[in-house]
Amino acid sequence: MTEAQASQSGAARVKVGTQTLYIGTRQATSINQDPIVLSYEGGKLKWANTKYETTGADGRGMGLFYNGTGLYGVFSIDGTQGLPTQDFRRVSAGATQAWMRSYGAGGGAKAAVVAKLNPRNGNLQSAVYLSAINNGKTNSFQVKGLAMNGKNLWVNAISYFAPRKIDGTAMRQTDPTATSPFNYSIELTPDLKTAVKASATGWQA
């Protein structure tokens, strides 16, 4: 794919030094999609990374964020299939809170993954799974944006069904008139190892 084609596809992009990075989705089979990140320099393809998630689950590349020192990617995933070495679990096991280490129970709902990437090749350095919870099962969660809050990474998102506290349990709803999806934010350490705090509109953390 040329850079012109990547640009015209509408894929999210970010500038990292002399590179322009694009994130998106490739059709792995007729019924399965996998994430992809492409890097262009001087209009030429520098590298392409397609190894983020290669299982039968549906994975997609959603967004990129660069804060001047760290590169982060946002992905979606709709379940757990295959081996940990075939998806984000290969770098998420070090998360302090257990719920952020994997997709969790159930399947079909789209959870989010925030990953720290090596800007030289796009390789995964660390990752966390983010999701809502519904009767003990994973429910949909969508990242809307990333930003820095001091040294920490702030994730702005919407949560379908109960937003999670940082320990993974459901928050308590305080506004019965609020309806799904709920505005949610969670603050992570820059290495993505630990959730520091979380809040949601109409809910008590």
pLDDT bucket at 106, cuts 50 / 70 / 90: confident
Question: How do beta strands 12-16 and 124-130 pair?
Answer: unpaired
Mean pLDDT value across the chain: 96
Express each pLDDT in 19-73 by its tens digit.
999 999 999 998 999 999 999 999 999 999 999 999 999 999 999 999 999 999 9
N-to-C CA span, the chain: 45
Number of domains in the chain: 1
Cα torsion 94, 100, 106, 111: sign: negative
Closest CA to 130 of 173, 64, 187: 187
Average pLDDT over residues 88-95: 97
Closest CA to 37 of 140, 120, 108: 120
The three-state (H, E, C) secondary structure of 7-71, written as one string:
HHCCCEEEEECCEEEEEEEEEEECCEEEEEEEEEECCEEEEEECCCCCCCCCEEEEEEEECCCCE
Q: What is the reported pTM?
A: 0.96
The mean-pLDDT minimum among 24-33, 110-119, 184-193 falls in: 24-33
Mention every residue, 6+ apart, whose C-beta is less than 8 A from residue 198: 163, 164, 165, 166, 171, 184, 185, 186, 187, 205
Q: Which domain holds residue 160?
A: 3-204
